[in-house]
Amino acid sequence: MDNPAHRSPVTWQHGGVTAATPSPLFPRVPDSADAVLEGLDPEQREVATALHGPVCVLAGAGTGKTRAITHRIAYGVRAGILQPSSVLAVTFTNRAAGEMRGRLRQLGAAGVQARTFHSAALRQLQYFWPKAVGGSLPRLVDRKIQLVADAAAACRIRLDRGELRDVTAEIEWSKVTQTVPADYPPAAAKAAREASRDPAEIAQLYAAYEDLKRERGVIDFEDVLLLTVAVLQDRRDIAEQVRAQYQHFVVDEYQDVSPLQQRLLELWLGDRENLCVVGDASQTIYSFTGATPDHLLDFRTRHPGATVVKLVRDYRSTPQVVHLANGLLAQARGRAADHRLELVSQRDPGPEPVFTEYPDEPAEAEGTARRIRELIDAGVRASGIAVLFRTNSQSETYEQALADASVPYQLRGAERFFDRPEVRRAGVALRGAARFGGNDSLLDDAADLPSQVRAVLSGQGWTAQPPAGSGAVRERWESLAALVNLAQDFAAARPGATLADLVAELDERAGAQHAPTVEGVTLASLHSAKGLEWDVVFLVGVAEGMMPITYAKTDEQIEEERRLLYVGVTRARERLHVSWALSRSPGGRANRRASRFLDGLRSGSAAAGGRGGAGGAGGVERGVSGAAASPFAAPGPRRGQRSPARCRVCGRTLTDAGEMKLMRCEDCPSDMDEGLYERLYDWRGEQARRSGQPAFCVFTDKTLMAIAETVPEDAAGLARIPGVGMRKLGRYGADVLAICAGGDGAHGKDQA
């Protein structure tokens, strides 16, 4: 079915010229208030025209909520009902705020403030601090973990890295829930917080941390909100000045507000009700940070006369994906589940979700990479594919598997696009060319903007054909290629645009961290995938103990894990692959099962106790590594013959991934052949150089150490070492065994 939310308005105006079809990336400004409403479905139009009084929009995944609220603001501005400078739109990430500002500008509503809670509060705090307190605002610390470490040292409490992160998270939670140090133990018990240290000890560290901040004259991220609240509560004149500035408020992702953010919003509002909130209780996945859907669910109680609009038309996902998503929520329990939205797909049917069981995690990663390679070979863009997992620690296995399959990838949550050195250098080159392009012979004959950009970036390392491999060189090329693609889209949307216009667009995007698409498969945790979407999504590690995760004990925590999986499912537009592994490592005991959340959602799952077929016609697909005729393709052990991974020195059961690769405890003595390790290390460097990929994608240091300690004599022995999958065994097995036997690994010299 055609998506009316994505159709273009009938007429658009740009520079006094009316056109019929704007670009989806850079649409032209609508020529009237009524034109803003064109292309909205009935419910979205209802949101857009509800400009007075409190408004609550309950918006399911993929239903066009951002479109609805930006068109609401733009319609009010274009109709003369709202003054742009009097509107404050608040969301939760800089990217979302930047995207909202861009959409509003394209709709003719430039001047509207779209910010995160922290950005809006910091701006007000910086402006009013001299008047409210005197002097300049204390310095904002970028990372509080060092302060927490210093506070622990002052208390003579020793914390390892994991405990430092846990204590820092508890301090952050305390502050956003407005809990002081003395009240932390009972508050943590009531909220069923599970930290790695005693609550009384955390309270002591929290108090010491606050004392240390005062001594050093610094504030942290949460203090920005706390101090803004304090100023607005204590200084009525300042609060009235803020309220005179902002008359209308829009809050996106309202299910994620914390008590502290809600208090700030109430102070901004005063006794007025010009508030529009948008959210979905079924996508509440950040309660560990203090977020709660209660404010969304209680909105009609606090505002009895509120207009309530439900958006349930899903324009993102196929009916098959939506059916699975609805099925997940149908089994949910609790208050959020009582207010779930039943999505209705507006798209044509697509393939059934595929459920795959693998014998172990490396096999799962290799199988996933193989399928992705097949999709890319069939014409699917790498940027349209994502691999989503529960914890960041799962990433490395998939990075290696994708690199082995020569699949480019990008890590979400890693270095930001506009902070990359090659992007910064490209920006300087483009800015210089825009300023002095007439004197550059490379640009004299360039007939259009994309040609100019390609000419400039060719001097920075961009080429028409990508380099081989998937290492640092390829990553730099992907960054520059993303800028070239952006220039092409920009020129198509704005005929006659100059290089200076593109530079201005890049500056705007950099400020909002609105990066162009990089052509690589996205690797991301489920939490960081919120708000994004892809054509194909692989949900990996969907097994008991990981989904729900082991430390989810209470009913509320279990239900949040279910909602997290729901968010993952609803990221997929067309194809969805769900997989799990029966054991952690090759040869391990097959004591895992598919997540309980999948029970009843795939044929045979209930009868098989969590193992069985896929919903619909897809059926279950047994995960296999792919038998090969090569002598280095050693078969895995049969089910039932696996045993727990144990230290080969002391016999203790191993659970840490690094220790399992070494097959011994970290602190047990090593019998590593150091000469062999050095030869393997040098060989790995040569292989990485030849293939253009990072060295760890050949073998990690731990895997090399394990090889040098065990000194395998044949393919079967090498295959038993964790980190040596079937693909690597086939590619590198002969080399490694030759080196172990005293050779130089010459087999690999002819490999690409």
Three-state DSSP at 595 gives: coil
Rounded distance, CA 686 to CA 748, Å? 9
Checking if the pLDDT of 9 tops 60, the result is no
Q: What is the pLDDT of residues 608-645, one digit of tens each?
A: 333 333 333 333 554 433 333 334 433 343 333 334 55
Residue 655: per-residue pLDDT = 53
Bridge-based pairing of strands 29-30 and 12-14 is antiparallel
Checking if the pLDDT of 670 tops 90, the result is no
Going by pLDDT thresholds of 50, 70 and 90, the confidence category of residue 416 is low
Residues of the chain with pLDDT > 70: what percent?
81
E strands, 562-653, in order: 572-581, 620-622
Considering the chain, what is the average pLDDT of its residues? 81
Checking if the pLDDT of 413 tops 70, the result is no
Residue 630: per-residue pLDDT = 39
Residue 18: per-residue pLDDT = 31
Cβ distance 315 to 285 under 8 Å? no
Residue 579: per-residue pLDDT = 95
**Average pLDDT of 374-402?**
89
Choose from 119-128, 422-431, 436-445 the range with maximum mean pLDDT: 119-128
Checking if the pLDDT of 370 tops 90, the result is yes
621 vs 703, residue with greater confidence: 703
Going by pLDDT thresholds of 50, 70 and 90, the confidence category of residue 24 is very low
Going by pLDDT thresholds of 50, 70 and 90, the confidence category of residue 650 is low
User: What letters, b where the CB count within 10 A reaches 16 and e where it falls short, cover 79-107?
Assistant: eeebebebbbbbbbebbbbbbbbbbbbbb
Q: What is the pLDDT of residues 719-746, one digit of tens each?
A: 888 778 777 888 899 999 999 888 766 5
Rounded distance, CA 81 to CA 695, Å? 60
**Average pLDDT of 272-288?**
90
Residue 633: per-residue pLDDT = 39
**Average pLDDT of 156-179?**
87
Q: What is the pLDDT of residues 71-103, one digit of tens each?
A: 999 999 988 999 999 999 999 888 888 888 888
Report the Cα 237 to chain-centroid distance in Å: 41
Residue 276: per-residue pLDDT = 94
Residue 526 parent element (H or E): none
Residue 745: per-residue pLDDT = 61
**Average pLDDT of 639-667?**
57
DSSP characters over 86-139: GEEEEESSHHHHHHHHHHHHHTT-TT-EEEEHHHHHHHHHHHHHHHHT-SPPPE
> 379 to each of 367, 433, 483, how far by Cα in Å?
19, 35, 22
Choose the weakest-confidence range: 36-40, 334-338, 377-381, 576-580: 334-338
**Average pLDDT of 216-222?**
91
Checking if the pLDDT of 693 tops 70, the result is no
486 vs 353, residue with greater confidence: 353
Rounded distance, CA 155 to CA 210, Å? 13
**Average pLDDT of 306-330?**
94
Torsion, Cα 403 406 411 412, to 10 degrees, reads -150
Rounded distance, CA 384 to CA 560, Å? 27
Q: Is the dihedral of CA 412, 586, 732, 704 positive or negative?
A: positive
Residue 438: per-residue pLDDT = 47
Residue 474: per-residue pLDDT = 62
**Average pLDDT of 464-468?**
71
Choose from 397-411, 516-530, 574-588 the range with maximum mean pLDDT: 574-588
Choose the weakest-confidence range: 119-128, 210-219, 504-513, 726-735: 504-513
DSSP characters over 194-238: --SS-HHHHHHHHHHHHHHHHHHTEE-HHHHHHHHHHHHHH-HHH
Residue 338: per-residue pLDDT = 82
- Among 286, 264, 285, 287, smallest CA distance to 275 is for 264
Checking if the pLDDT of 210 tops 60, the result is yes
> Cβ–Cβ contacts within 10 Å for residue 654, how many?
23
Rounded distance, CA 372 to CA 430, Å? 35
